[in-house]
Amino acid sequence: MTPSILRIATRKSALALWQAEHVAAELRAAHPGLTVEMVPMTTRGDEIQDRSLATVGGKGLFLKELEIAMQEGRADLAVHSLKDVPAELEPGFVLPAVLPRADAADAFISNDYADLAALPLGARVGTSSLRRQALLRGLRPDLNLLDLRGNVGTRLGKLDAGHYDAIVLACAGLERLGLAERIRGRLAAPDWLPAPGQAAIAIEARSDQPATLALLAALDDEHTRMAVDAERAMNQALGGSCTVPVGAWCVVTERGLHLSGMVGDVASGRLLRAEAEGHSDQAETLGRQVAEALFAQGAAAFLGGH
């Protein structure tokens, strides 16, 4: 039977709430008469602010509590930033919809400098993302890279307090929070690659709820889905871990899919890059192909220990 109400499990950060409200509005528009409610909750990932995610168990920390709520029937769906969703989902869960992607570029943010090139020698740049660290090392080996955790507002506050000369955040998150004026420059392909799935909002639900899945599937965007399938397949073929700096960016054209991938090494600043084109119905094959091309260049040494 078609449900008349859907409850959305969401984290409580401003960005998570914006994204959940956005999905709620889209669901109400797609299904007039449907009631949509919020179930805000705190996850382990939100509580741990002092250690890097890579050291405490990875991205799944942001999903666990939301999945338990769905398992126990307290919520029907969860809304995530797709880049925070592990390559492999917990058994019994699927992603019935990926919403149209926003700007997938990263943002260079500084109160004193216009772009990366303008930063003085040894400038302090804040980011705890291994991908962003590896890219910064590769492009500007002289920079002093410093950890920076917390939600978007917290990170901007630490920049404004003078702890950093610049920080890097996702353009999509800043735009959603009405903070686009903080973006000094876009860090984008081909030099800079986003995280797999960056700027796409994903809906997660139980695989054993077909009527709910049918309602949620109305929000799926075909082009975004193809692109992020390719990016996530590449990440998974590389080991799918957030303890390794991986970037991926897939463009959908009339000719098909164009996927660019990168694996980095924070210590050495070395970056391996590969790209390939494929048919739009072959996203996963394309992802594996680019991963193979990275392995052929020696990516395994960068993925050591995984």
Ligand X SMILES: NCc1[nH]cc(CCC(=O)O)c1CC(=O)O
CA 156 – CA 98 distance, rounded (Å):
28
Among 133, 122, 98, smallest CA distance to 222 is for 98
Please tell me which residue in 84, 165, 229, 265 is annotated as part of the active site: 84
Choices 33-41, 76-84, 115-123, 141-149 (CB under 6 A): range interacting with ligand X: 76-84
Cα distances from 144 to residues 118, 270, 293, in angstroms, run 14, 16, 31
The residue among 81 and 212 lying less far from ligand X, judged by its C-beta, is: 81
Q: For residue 184, report the phi and psi dihedrals to the nearest 5 degrees.
A: -85, -35
The residue among 168 and 226 lying less far from ligand X, judged by its C-beta, is: 168
- Interface with ligand X includes 206 (CB under 6 A)? no
Cβ 285 to ligand X shortest distance, Å = 25
Tokens encoding 276: 């390939």
Binding-site member from 24, 170, 205, 283 for ligand X (CB under 6 A): 170
- Interface with ligand X includes 16 (CB under 6 A)? no
CA 210 – CA 230 distance, rounded (Å):
25
Binding-site member from 126, 173, 245, 264 for ligand X (CB under 6 A): 173
Cα distances from 139 to residues 10, 271, 272, in angstroms, run 36, 9, 13
In sequence order, what are the beta bridge partners of 126? 146, 167
- Interface with ligand X includes 244 (CB under 6 A)? no
- Interface with ligand X includes 152 (CB under 6 A)? yes
Site string for ligand X, 265-294 (x = CB under 6 A): ------------------------------
Choices 81-89, 90-98, 115-123, 177-185 (CB under 6 A): range interacting with ligand X: 81-89
State yes or no: is 84 an active-site residue.
Answer: yes
Contact 22, 202 (CB under 8 A): no
Cβ within 8 Å of residue 187, ≥6 positions away:
105, 106, 107, 108, 116, 135, 168
The residue among 198 and 282 lying less far from ligand X, judged by its C-beta, is: 198
Binding-site member from 169, 187, 230, 244 for ligand X (CB under 6 A): 169
Q: Which residues bind ligand X (CB under 6 A)?
A: 81, 83-84, 152, 169-170, 172-173, 198-199
Which are the catalytic amino acids?
Answer: 84
